[in-house]
Copies of this chain bind each other. A is one copy, B any other.
Amino acid sequence: MVSLREVALRAGVSPSTASIALRGDKRVKTDTRERVIEIAHALGYVPNGSARDLKRKSKQIIGVLLHDLGGPFYSEVLRGIQHRMHDSGFTPIVGCSAPGNHGALTRLLLEQRVDGAIVLDPLVDKEALIRIARRGLPIVVLDREISESGIYSVMANHEQGAYHATQYLLEEGFRSIAFISGPDDSTHSKARLAGFCRALAQTRQRGVCAGIYAGNFTEDSGCEIAYQIMRDQGRHRVDAVFAANDEMALGVMKAFADVGVVIGQEVAVMGFDDILIAQYARPALTTVRQPMYDIGYHAADLICRALVQDRSSLPTEAVVFPMQLVVRESTKKTTFEGGI
């Protein structure tokens, strides 16, 4: 492996001169500089990253920690990160934090191979992140909140998303809406339920809430609860079901379809998350989406700023993005009536 010393040797200069020359520093005479550069190029010299990292303080690399690599959800976030990082001088490197918080977290963050990190994994231990931040590594956490100097949060406003979605259902004229929550320990589920309740509390209509059912975010639980809703609806027919995530909403649609209830016409179904399948479901599922590209872009922006600017200019509160309502067929009464 060709080292700087070798380049210097062949160019007849000292390693230190070669080092500055290769960065195009004007301090070294033009012809020496060009000679060094040419020789380095001819030899295929590339500086050793470890050696340079060791000497310099900065590595110009940002670690991105995901729970599991791949998956359509992450891809948009990564696109946002890449776009912001592009031409910033920083390179994003992605690791998977899944296997026992080991591997990538250790290699990238603990062993100081990166200058900063973006963490999108609810399972990465909060204390571990705080410890790392205390060591001086800026961290942006996505979709969760950690109050600690050096840790920045970027997330979507789930409460507002659910509020907005519920308002839409009310505007469309639905008057008996059931809500299916996720597991109790999910902050997302809580926030979504809160948004649902706030929208109902604001409306003049009474008795719109047709029950709040406890699901567990799985398609099966959505399916079961849909049957339960059908059994329960004695006095007033439920005309809309708002599930706290898309998987459950799909389960609900399946159950209704199985007993011949026409989705959209007889009952509306609202999901949450906009997973990929939502748009391919039949009818396509109306749902609420996080602005994932924006979240990634902003996360990258925060990290870059934390590394080049004064950190006091950065927000101490979580940066919250509004969620977007994606209206599709599952909440449209006109679906099969020749409407647009």
A interface with B by C-beta (< 8 Å): 1, 44, 46-54, 59-61, 68-72, 74-79, 82, 86, 91-96, 98-99, 103-104, 106-108, 110-113, 131, 135-136, 276-277, 280-282
Contact = CB atoms under 8 A, between A and B. Distances in A.
Contact of A282 (B46, B49, B99, B282): B282
B75 A69 contact: yes
A74 B1 CA distance: 32
Contact of A49 (B72, B107, B276, B281): B107
B69 A78 contact: yes
Contacts of A79: 68-70
A69 B50 contact: no
Given A70-B76, A96-B92, A280-B280, A135 B50 contact: no
A110 B46 CA distance: 6
A99 B85 CA distance: 11
Given A48-B111, A50-B54, 8 more contacts: A50-B50, A61-B107, A69-B78, A69-B94, A70-B77, A91-B103, A92-B104, A93-B108
A106 B46 contact: yes
A104 B280 CA distance: 34
A104 B78 contact: no
26 contacts: A48-B54, A49-B50, A49-B107, A49-B111, A50-B50, A50-B112, A50-B113, A52-B111, A60-B107, A68-B78, A69-B78, A69-B82, A70-B74, A70-B75, A72-B72, A78-B96, A82-B99, A86-B99, A91-B104, A91-B106, A91-B107, A92-B96, A93-B95, A93-B104, A94-B94, A280-B281
A127 B130 CA distance: 44
A94 B95 contact: yes
A51 B96 CA distance: 23
Contacts of A98: 82
A197 to B, nearest CB: 34
Contacts of A93: 93-95, 104, 107-108
Nearest to A96: B82
Contacts of A53: 50
A68 B96 CA distance: 16
A223 B53 CA distance: 53
Contacts of A60: 107
